[in-house]
Structure 1
Amino acid sequence: MTTVQQLPLMFLLCSQTCVLLFLLWRDMAPDVKQWKRAVNDEHTCHCNVTGCGDETVQRQKINRKSKRNSLPQYIDERDLRVILGDKSMCGDVALIHAVFVVHSAVGNYPRREIIRQIFRRDPYYKTYTTRLLFLLGQPNEMKLQDNIIQEFRQYGDIIQGVFLDTYHNLTYKAVMGMKWISQNCRNVKYIVKMDDDVIVDLHNFFTHLYNMFRSSDHTIICNAITQPKIFRKGKWGVKKHHLRYYKHYPFSYCSGFAVIIPAAMIPVLYKATLTVPFFWIDDIYLFGMVRRMIPKLELHDSGKKYFDFDGNEILKCIKRAGCKLTFASLSYNKMLYRAWKEKQKHLNH
């Protein structure tokens, strides 16, 4: 056969080969449309978008059977940007004994104001050098944001991030605070992380806890929780693909309503968060998953001697001699100030 006569046959063979390769590729390769949709979802539905902060955002990989396999998400430093914050907060003294970092919801102005009054009026606020900071995300309403800006101008003690202020974004709030402190508060001995419904007894803190561990840079002091149950439903519900086959967390962690951290460990903890897959429960993430990445960083369980969930206990404890209870969770705003006043009366007597 001549070359010209062979052309149709060669074309037919090439066509058949191309069709066969296409069929093989279709069976083995990911569904491109689904892949693009998954990636777009990940970029669109992120922690700073309304309605998306209440779920752990994860990239999705589509296999040849169109099933989605979760890949771990890591914290993106772009989501830790600060839009309000006074960088000079820690820069005017040689040593700060403790910075109290309060996780607060954007609408909890009354609680922040009570905590400010307690710190301003407590005599230990003047004896020791301390700083008070409130960590916030962004609200949904512009009017509320205007109020926060005004509050910042008045007090200068707010650190606000770009993410939405939602319950499932508490890990972003905590890591943002660590990054900010790492960059702006290097002259600090201790960082005290606490919630805005917690009362702190500054007398007991500086008399007992501060002096007890002031020589250690590798001990986190808290109410430690050992082998807690993993809930799959409810407020603390964890998706079934997280820690699959586990009924209990395989590590101890701190109950996050109050945690005392050596300031020297804050930059180390922050850098470790960039290497540990994201988990939305901040206490478990920071003081369990991330802490385990740092050699020799240990938890000291101070239990109910210094930490208590029951706010009524602090009112009872104040009246007893030798009460060392330092942190207690109080659900009502008025109880915060009442407990502090009762303590001051006891000290005066």
Structure 2
Amino acid sequence: MSSKRLLSVVAYAGAIFMIYQILSYIHMWQTVQPIDQSFSELLKKEILQNYDLSNIASEEEMKNALNLILLKYALDSKSKNGKVDPVLNPALNNKGVDSGNGANPIFNGDYILNNVSVCPDNLEVIVVVHTAPDHFIRRQNIRTTYGSSTMFLPVNIRTVFLVGRVKTAEKQAVINTEYSRYGDIIQGNFIDAYHNLTYKAVMGLHWVSHYCSQAKYVVKLDDDVVFDMWRFLSMFHARNRFMSNSMYCYVRVDGKIHRKGKWEVPKEMFKGYSSYPFQHCIGFTVIYSGDIIPALYRASFKEPFFWLDDVYVTGILRIAAGGIQLNQHTRDNLLRPTLGGLQCLQELGRKCTYLSMGATEETFHATWHAVKRRSHNPLRKT
């Protein structure tokens, strides 16, 4: 038997064994949370027809993948002919949220404002900032600090700000003026609202995939964050760390599913779960290797909408894409969304390990100057 044919046989046998493991796990899952036979058959069909087993390299990944499939059905208790119709909580629709019908794709390139020439061929880092249309001061703060395209040369960095549709022509005129001046606003044709952050996140995946796919790193930030670009370049870029198939963030393990409050998940979604059965990022800062962005975007075509963007992108889409490593530094405070970052920097200086920290408009510049003092600005004096 030729070596090529032998490898094919081994690969086939491995796939069969993995199918057996998955089906065994379905049986085990039924013993702790009974489901009817037709539902079980639907799950098996979903696994065998729609999921790439070659990306499942371990028993833990296999369990994560199955949990994701189970959750896909738990998102909406109603199914028709084996097809799930994902829906948003109707109570949320009164908040100016585009609910649509939950159909995929979530975002397919419907831009109001789009600069396709932001990223040069030799780009190394693209910073993607989630921002609200009226947060002009926050965007200015970022443009003149860690979002600068010239401050960190010779490393090529660009920054874009993601917004949605505004409600009045007057507000749109302000956005248009800012876009004309800076060329860094990417505006999608969906209502800019808190419960539409998943639209914004998937728009970011689409935009990077289509117009900035050459970036080695994608740094996703909220606009109330101070990010130490010098420390990032020293830790990641200079050492070629997490260059492929990687996601780096502050990882939430067994994150609670909130049924009330700011992060409310309707009772119709994730029935029977009090916490998410997979790890995901706290989304104030997420660092992606550039190569995984297209896979995450493609995964959004088959995974139903879920309004919490952190859970959706870094949990559901990550698992659906397959083969993406979720990394957290051994110092668990390296990435923190805390407003205590300024105090940490002032009191500990270089011993303060924060890479990313929260800041208000009032504390932003003090925090940034403390970051500069800690880093000694090794690339360029400012």
1:327 corresponds to which of 349, 356, 366 = 356
Q: Deviations over 1:296-342 (max 9, x none)?
A: 21210236432112122344235433433211122x11211111112
* CA contact 1:95–1:129 (8 Å) conserved in 2: yes
User: Is 1:311 aligned to residue 355 of structure 2?
Assistant: no
Q: Which residues of 2 match residues 1-349 of structure 1 at below 5 A?
A: 51-53=95-97, 56-58=99-101, 73-76=102-105, 80-90=109-119, 92=120, 94-119=121-146, 124-212=151-239, 214=241, 216-302=243-329, 304-317=332-345, 319-330=348-359, 332-348=360-376
Q: Is the 8 A contact 2:219 2:288 kept in 1?
A: yes
Aligned AA for 1:139? V
* Letter of the structure 1 residue corresponding to residue 199 of structure 2: Y
Q: Report the CA distance shift for 1:120/1:280 in structure 2 as closer, same or farther (over 3 A).
A: closer
Aligned-pair CA distance for 1:75? 3.1
Most deviating of 274-283 and 178-187: 178-187
- Structure-2 change in CA distance of 1:144 and 1:250 (3 Å): same
| Root mean square deviation of aligned Cα | 2.4
Q: List gaps (5 residues or longer) in structure 2.
A: 1-86, 378-382
1:134-191: CA deviation from partner (whole Å, max 9, x where unpaired) = 0000111221111000000000001000001000110000101111111111221000
Cα deviation for residue 85 of structure 1 reads 1.4
Change (3 A) 1:138 1:123: closer
Distance across 1 between alignment mates of 2:107 and 2:276: 30
Supply the AA of the counterpart residue of 2:365.
Y
Q: Report if aligned partners of 2:198, 2:309 keep a CA contact under 8 Å in 1.
A: yes
- Name the CA distance, whole Å, in 2 between partners of 1:241 and 1:184: 37
Amino-acid identity (%): 31
Give the whole-Å Cα distance in 2 for the aligned partners of 1:313 and 1:171.
Answer: 27
Distance 1:264 1:252 in 2: 21
Higher strand share: 1
Q: How many Å separate the matches in 2 of 1:155 and 1:292? A: 36
When residues 122 and 337 of structure 1 are mapped into structure 2, their CA distance, relative to the original with a 3 A threshold, is farther
Match of 2:124, SS? strand
Q: 2 CA distance for matches of 1:76 and 1:220?
A: 23
Q: Which residue of 2 aligns with 1:64?
A: none
Residue 123 of structure 1 and its aligned partner are, at CA, apart by 7.4
Deviation at 1:219, TM superposition (A): 1.3
User: Do the aligned residues in 2 keep the contact of 1:79 with 1:172 (CA within 8 Å)?
Assistant: no
Match of 1:62 in 2: none
Larger Rg: 1
TM-superposed deviation, 1:52 = 4.3
Retained in 1: the 8 A contact 2:235–2:241?
Answer: no
Q: TM-score, normalised by structure 2?
A: 0.69
Contact 2:342 2:370 in 1 (8 A): no
Aligned equivalents of 1:131, 1:234: Cα separation in 2: 36
The number of residues matched between the two structures is: 286
**Residues 306, 152 of structure 1: CA spacing in aligned structure 2 closer, same or farther, 3 A cutoff?**
same
Question: Is contact 2:218-2:287 (8 Å) kept?
Answer: yes
Q: Is the 8 A contact 1:103 1:194 kept in 2?
A: yes
Work out whether residues 252 and 280 of structure 2, in 8 Å CA contact, stay in contact via their aligned partners in 1: yes
Q: Deviations over 1:14-72 (max 9, x none)?
A: xxxxxxxxxxxxxxxxxxxxxxxxxxxx9xx9x9x984417x554xxxxxxxxxxxxxx
Check conservation: 2:345, 2:371, Cα contact below 8 A: no
Alpha carbons of structure 1 residues 130 and 121: separation in structure 2 relative to 1, 3 Å: closer
Between the aligned partners of 1:121 and 1:158, the Cα distance in structure 2 is: 14
The CA deviation at 1:343 is 2.4
Q: Secondary structure at the match of 1:325?
A: coil
